[in-house]
Amino acid sequence: MDQPHTIDYRVLVDNLTTAILLVDSKLNIFYLNSSCESLFDMSLLRANGQPVLNLLHMPNDEFNTEEALFNTLATGQPYTRREATINVNFKDIHVDYTVSQLNAGKPYHPLLLIELNPIDRMLKISKEENLIQQHQVARQLIRGVAHEIKNPLGGIRGATQLLARSLNNPEYSEFTDIIISEVDRLRNLADTMLGSRQLPSYEPVNVHEPLERVRSLIANQTKKKIKITRDYDLSLPEVKADRDQLIQVMLNISVNAVQAMMENKDFFTEHQPELVLRTRIQRLVTINGVLNRSAVRVDIEDNGPGVPEEILESVFYPLVTGRAKGTGLGLSIAQNIMHQHNGMIECQSIPGKTVFSLYLPWESNHVAK
């Protein structure tokens, strides 16, 4: 006869998509499940003992969260708040949450059970899908334009060389040299716009490998003017990826960070420019409309002045740039490569803290479409 399944309730609670928090009678957190860790981007270890009001209550909130929580503790009367705003890592997110008393056999020390449902997720998915579509249209347009620019360049270059030879006069060669070097510059630009022509070759990659390559390239280039901090989770699983393309993605993002820090030296009067390379496992992450149980996350963070506010929303679009000499292609190419890997890049930025996060699914662990 089959044995009835025995259930480890902790596993069950950790697999719920609802975020759950347990709070003691002093309103300090003492447990959060995996969904909640990922909602607040905070591990149980870090959250343990912290006042829950730090997470749930906003300074400008008219609702008296503290009083409501103590009231449920004392009376056992549950309550629900809809569309409450909470702030996670500088980003406002909206949640519905329910607070109820949990009397786990100790009548003198009741606990609070808080169940949170982020309501931005659905909004965010449709926004992301929209963005991806617009992005693809823009990329096709760019490739079309690049192709058309590139076609006549070969002819112009060849004709200029012939002209230079037949003129055979050093006085004019200055002009023909200018034409040739400008044509070469345009051709390089068009090549970058067209993106890599090589087909990606996917193999198991430990993300720390390309990341370390990028770190040493940047360290050499900046010659210790920028502090580079590593914060790696070495237990990360391998992902299926094209190693060279991952290097390109990480390099494009790191070079941007370095440029933002080096070109704005007056921003650093009291602190040192710093690049942080961080790797983590991210639970429950929606990538391109698919909810993944977990993904590998690589953060490239800098403490520079931040992405200019007027381009923050469109920063991944081709030709969007905040720099006088920028072409605005680096991030668009990087995002494109990540899409080909079923991954994505996200950006959060305020002055003093800019984080570009790469997400790569590491197995087919989609839980919903």
Is 257 among the residues that bind ligand ATP (CB under 6 A)?
yes
- From ligand ATP, Mg ion, none, interface partner of 118 (C-beta below 5 to 8 A by class): none
- 358 is an interface residue for ligand ATP by CB under 6 A: no
248 makes contact with ligand ATP (CB under 6 A): no
- Is residue 273 near Mg ion by the rule CB under 5 A? no
Residue type at 35? Answer: S
* Sign of the C-alpha dihedral computed for residues 87, 88, 93 and 96 taken in this order: negative
Q: What kind and span of H or E run contains 243?
A: helix 243-262
Q: Is 299 in the site for ligand ATP (CB under 6 A)?
A: no
Nearest distance from C-beta of residue 259 to Mg ion, angstroms? 7
SS3 call for 20: strand
Output the six-digit token pair for 321: 């740039």
Q: How many residues bind ligand ATP (CB under 6 A)?
A: 22
Tell me which of Mg ion, ligand ATP, none is bound by residue 306, counting a contact when its beta carbon lies within the kind-specific cut-off of 5 to 8 angstroms.
ligand ATP
Q: Does 315 bind ligand ATP (CB under 6 A)?
A: yes
d(CA 285, CA 105): 35
Contacts of 225 (CB under 8 A, 6+ apart): 262, 273
256 binds Mg ion (CB under 5 A): yes
Q: How far is the CB of 148 from ligand ATP (least distance, A)?
A: 20
Question: In b/e form, how buried is each residue of 78-114, taking b as 16+ CB within 10 angstroms?
Answer: eeeeeebebeeeeeebebebbbbeeeeeeeeebbbbb
Task: Quote the tokens at residue 343.
Answer: 């991954």
| Residue in 330, 335, 345, 354 binding Mg ion, rule: CB under 5 A | 330
Among 23, 29, 331, 360, binds ligand ATP (CB under 6 A): 331
In whole angstroms, how far apart are CA 283 and each of 40, 96, 359?
11, 20, 11
Helix axes 330-340, 120-167, angle to 10 degrees: 120
Smallest gap from Cβ 328 to ligand ATP, in A, equals: 4
- Least Cβ distance, residue 309 to Mg ion (angstroms): 18
- Of the two residues 183 and 257, which places its CB atom closer to ligand ATP in the complex? 257
Given 26, 323, 352, 367, the residue binding ligand ATP (CB under 6 A): 323
Quote the CA–CA distance of 250 and 343 in Å, as a whole number.
Answer: 13
* By CB under 6 A, residue 256 contacts ligand ATP: yes
**Is residue 248 part of the contact set for Mg ion (CB under 5 A)?**
no
> Taking the complex as a whole, how short is the minimal distance between the CB of residue 256 and Mg ion, in angstroms?
4
Q: What does the alpha-carbon distance between residue 178 and residue 176 come to, in Å, rounded to a whole number? A: 5
β-strand 19-23 against 111-118: which pairing, if any? Answer: antiparallel
Residue 190: how many other CB atoms lie within 10 Å: 19
Q: How far is the CB of 89 from ligand ATP (least distance, A)?
A: 16
| Part in contact with Mg ion (CB under 5 A); list of ranges 117-125, 131-139, 252-260, 306-314 | 252-260
> Which one among 329, 337, 338, 360 touches ligand ATP, defined by CB under 6 A?
329
| Residue 336 sits in the site that holds Mg ion (CB under 5 A) | no
List interacting residues with Mg ion (CB under 5 A): 256, 330
List interacting residues with ligand ATP (CB under 6 A): 252, 256-257, 260, 302, 304, 306-308, 315, 320-323, 326-332, 354
